[in-house]
Structure 1
Amino acid sequence: MDRKRLTIEGLRFNQDLEVVKFGKTAPFVGENTPTYRLVSTMKMAVLSAGILFYDDMYIFAERHLKLHPGIVEIFPKRFPYVFADEMQDTDKRQTEILDTLFSNSSTVLQRIGDPNQAIYHQSAVGEGCIWQPPEESHQLSTSRRFGPSTATIVSNLSVVSPVSIVGCAKNRDIKPHLIVFADSQIEEVIPAFATIITNHSLHELPNRGFKAIGWVAKKHESRHTLHDYWPQFDVKRNRRQASYATLKGNLHSIRLADGPDSPKVFRETILNGIVALLKDGVA
């Protein structure tokens, strides 16, 4: 055993709740050895603190379904309709748990996904997504996100599951733009993006909203962050504050919300206020 590479991140539970190495099913040393007792104590301590890896959660779910088969009868009564979104990013174990709970029941199980948008080609245990839309599935080929020109380009990129996407005619038909720059010009990227917006008068549209998305961490040696593109960026100052100590404070802050994200801010603020009320019992 290579003790130098044995870390808590590399430990998992198996179906019998034995501690095993990542990707394995049997303990790597005898259960009565000092090494096994040590790593088992470590793993249980982490579990007691409420920390689990996804693989561990699947193990507990599968174990509960095996030990308590009555769960399969209870879940359909609790959930008559189930919508599983982003199915292209599910792995074999997730799919099997869904099938066990709902496939042979009266529950309407609607799976929604696009293999062309799969993020994870392989899961943590080396199993790729096994879900594919059945032949009788309904294809949602119209996009409200972009216009016809972009739809044509995106259609040509749908190589996993070819589909002809129809763009929304109501959207302005603007061709995609690629901003190519040298590292020495990185601070000019966001102004160039703003120029594209104004050249197409997008800033004059109602419900407008434009965002620059990137790593928000501090400067990094191996990748660019928002600080590189916009040196004035301050993650603390730019983070929306929607949580106050009391319900009254949260409701008062709603008056400060203005913009395309206002409905979302209202919802978050009210929920945070209710949580504050339940915690302290004082509004």
Structure 2
Amino acid sequence: MTGRALRKRTSGTGARFLALRSDKRSGTFDVSACPGSGKTTLVVAKLAIMARKWPHRTSGICVLSHTNVAREEIQSRLGHTPVGHRLLGFPHFIDTIHTFANRFLALPYLQSNGYPSPLIDDDVAKAFRWNHLKGKERSGLEYYLQKNDLGIDAVTFASTDLSPVVFHRGKIKPFPSGPNSDSYKKAHRIIKTSAEAGRFRYEEMFVWAEHLLQTYPDISATLSHRFPLVLMDEMQDTSLRQAALLHSIFNRGAAVSGIQRVGDPNQEIFETGQDQNTADPFPDKVEDRTMTIASSRRFGKPIADLANPHAVIPIGDGGLRGNGPGKAPDQVDHGQNLIIIFPDNDCSKVLEAFGAHLLQTFDDDTLAFGDCFAIGGVHRPTTENIPPGHNKYPRSVEHYWADYSAENAKMDRHPKTLSGYLHQAQEIVRSGHEIGPAVNGFAAGMQRLVRNIGRPNAELESRRKHKAIRTVLEGTPDLLTQYDEFARSYITKISPITADLWAEQKGLLLTIAASLCEGTSDTGLCADFMAWEEPPILPQLQNDGVEKPDNTCVITADDRHVSIRLGSIHQAKGQTHFATLLLSTFQNHHSSEKIVDWLCGDKSSGAGEGPQNLSRLKGTYVALTRPTHLVGVAVRHSAIVENEHAILGKLQAQGWHVTNLCV
């Protein structure tokens, strides 16, 4: 992409961001940008412009993100431009905060202090620790943890002496018994054994990174000189721990490196979010070091006006502004943004009402501009029986549609078994995608298997996992041939795999995995991972023979139909929909009961609200800012029953069209 093309693509709102390319904007600066303002496009444009003029050969730009998804999107966009491709190699660094902490801090510390090359994987570390205990020792610790509402997953460490602590409900807490108890000693032993073997969880690597910085504070200055410009994306999702670590390296007040942070504090909906980060808050409180972009090109004024009150932090001086969408802009001022009031004991008609409303409001050509979604704050099932009439009903998305599967809703599935990886690879090929991602996906499962039974060959750390496996297997030609034949048969040709066939192939896969280890291996450590897992239900066929994606409900009215995809608010973050319906779900309280004052316009922002409702408001804001053309909210009747007539009047005065299923 040429400089002229970049300027054209990022005109208008983006032009303000491109002011950062001037010398004045090469230093520390924050950009707080609303949904649909094109944050990622602007970040990539900024980086591409910087790449053209970067003068240093041994120091580079450091780009950090909270998630692999955000990192991959930036890398992908840069990789498609000759200018941007320069940033994908030395001296620059583009990756997650975890990878940065490991590469430059934790791994050097571990290697210099006699620890083996670590395997960093939550599942592998937990399985290794649990399998270290046998018989009564294992059952005894399991029983003790369960009595304290904990599991082995909660046991971790937070200091270099490896003393056990527990991570419970988002917080590190002391181990529930003292150092002299049997349970404490067992927990300490499995953690110590795991560390000596180099098995660590992702979050535990911060312990080593933090200790290195405390022991050798000059490292911060070295890294600041190594990266004179640091750009942090999706800053609102950075945890307190991550923010503190980055602040100790790239001190925004020291001005050694230019620190530029991009995000939206109103979209912080993950538990890792740093809304309590008072030491180095985002965005910066200093006015001339912060830019606010309040104009969205995703949606128009009606949706902006309805979403704006739910912004916990007020947006600029005039609030959220809608200057979109790009397609069918004449179809957004329809006055049909929807509130659906449903009976407390029956939400079965909500999706039908939403679909019928869409069909009445738009013609088929307009509906074809994008996908329609129904999303909720809670979408995972529970073992608790919650039928209609229960005080928690509807608890989650599945109560609105019985065929909903939380597992199928995952955007990036992480199978629990190797057979699950194979099913996922077959899905990729079956859906018409290229073979490469499918083969590499299964190879990632093989890599996890190797980590479960021993220490992987160093070659396997390559990002090109399938090629790495073949490279190692070149030393055993027979196994290489059998591995290739397995991939060809079950992935390329999508030969059906059954429980019986899996039982026959397990031995071969374990033999291959053992040959990919350095030194000894123990295949007895992977029984759970090698278990047979039933394949997911294939996508259903619609009447016209077209596949219906997972978790898609089709609503038909008057010989027309509209598809509504179901999922969670967390999964929808970053997405753009044609229409979005926010479903009322239960977590401590029914969400619609707690946001009705904002829907009515009686309240605005999060001033004076407790943590639970702040989280609820942020989720609502994310949901209401996904669509380009129509937004809806499903409201439990209990939310309005005390003053029904007045509340319905206020909702209509705010611009909501109300469909009442209770009459």
Deviations 1:61-114 (A, max 9, x none): 211323455653564576565432333343443222112222357644321233
Between 19-28 and 197-206, the greater mean CA deviation after superposition: 19-28
2:155–2:166: 8 Å Cα contact kept in structure 1? yes
User: Which protein has the bigger strand share?
Assistant: 2
DSSP-derived class of the 1:43 partner? helix
Name the residue aligned to 1:146: 299
Change (3 A) 1:17 1:146: same
1:89–1:129: 8 Å Cα contact kept in structure 2? no
- Supply the distance in 1 between the matched residues of 2:321 and 2:213 (Cα, whole angstroms): 43
Which residue identity is paired with 1:231?
A: A
Instruction: Point out which structure has higher relative CO (alpha carbons under 8 A, 6+ apart).
Output: 2
Q: Runs of 5+ in structure 1 lacking a partner? A: 258-264
1:19 matches 2:164: yes
- Supply the distance in 2 between the matched residues of 1:39 and 1:62 (Cα, whole angstroms): 23
Deviations 1:200-237 (A, max 9, x none): 32752354112333525478535544443223445677
1:228 matches 2:371: no
DSSP-derived class of the 2:354 partner? helix
2:231–2:260: 8 Å Cα contact kept in structure 1? yes
DSSP-derived class of the 1:231 partner? coil
- Supply the distance in 2 between the matched residues of 1:236 and 1:121 (Cα, whole angstroms): 20
Alignment of 1:205-220 (within 5 A): 205=366, 206-214=368-376, 215=379, 217=381
Change (3 A) 1:17 1:269: same
Name the residue aligned to 2:323: 168
Between 231-240 and 192-201, the greater mean CA deviation after superposition: 231-240
- Supply the distance in 2 between the matched residues of 1:161 and 1:244 (Cα, whole angstroms): 44
Name the residue aligned to 1:260: none
Name the residue aligned to 1:5: 148
The count of residues paired between Structure 1 and Structure 2 equals 268
DSSP-derived class of the 2:323 partner? coil
Between 265-274 and 185-194, the greater mean CA deviation after superposition: 265-274
**TM-score of the pair, normalised by structure 1:** 0.67
Which residue identity is paired with 2:401?
A: W
Between 160-169 and 198-207, the greater mean CA deviation after superposition: 198-207
Tell me how large the CA RMSD over aligned residues is: 4.7
Q: Runs of 5+ in structure 2 lacking a partner? A: 1-143, 387-393, 414-419, 443-463, 472-483, 489-663
- Supply the distance in 2 between the matched residues of 1:50 and 1:85 (Cα, whole angstroms): 29
- Supply the distance in 2 between the matched residues of 1:11 and 1:267 (Cα, whole angstroms): 36
Which residue identity is paired with 1:18?
A: S
Between 210-219 and 88-97, the greater mean CA deviation after superposition: 210-219
1:83–1:109: 8 Å Cα contact kept in structure 2? yes
In our comparison, the structure showing a higher alpha carbon Rg is 2
Which residue identity is paired with 1:153?
A: L
2:233–2:261: 8 Å Cα contact kept in structure 1? yes
Deviations 1:162-205 (A, max 9, x none): 43111024342355422221255422222222123222327523
**TM-score of the pair, normalised by structure 2:** 0.33
DSSP-derived class of the 2:231 partner? strand
Which residue identity is paired with 2:385?
A: E
1:186 matches 2:347: yes
- Supply the distance in 2 between the matched residues of 1:240 and 1:25 (Cα, whole angstroms): 34
- Supply the distance in 1 between the matched residues of 2:149 and 2:407 (Cα, whole angstroms): 37
- Supply the distance in 1 between the matched residues of 2:405 and 2:174 (Cα, whole angstroms): 46
1:200 matches 2:361: yes
- Supply the distance in 1 between the matched residues of 2:149 and 2:243 (Cα, whole angstroms): 30
Match among 157, 161, 175 for residue 310 of structure 2: 157
Name the residue aligned to 1:87: 235
Deviations 1:221-268 (A, max 9, x none): 3554444322344567788999986xx9899656x36xxxxxxx9995
DSSP-derived class of the 2:339 partner? coil
Match among 113, 123, 129 for residue 263 of structure 2: 113
- Supply the distance in 2 between the matched residues of 1:35 and 1:236 (Cα, whole angstroms): 34
Alignment of 1:227-246 (within 5 A): 227-233=398-404
DSSP-derived class of the 1:146 partner? coil
1:61 matches 2:209: yes
1:52 matches 2:201: yes
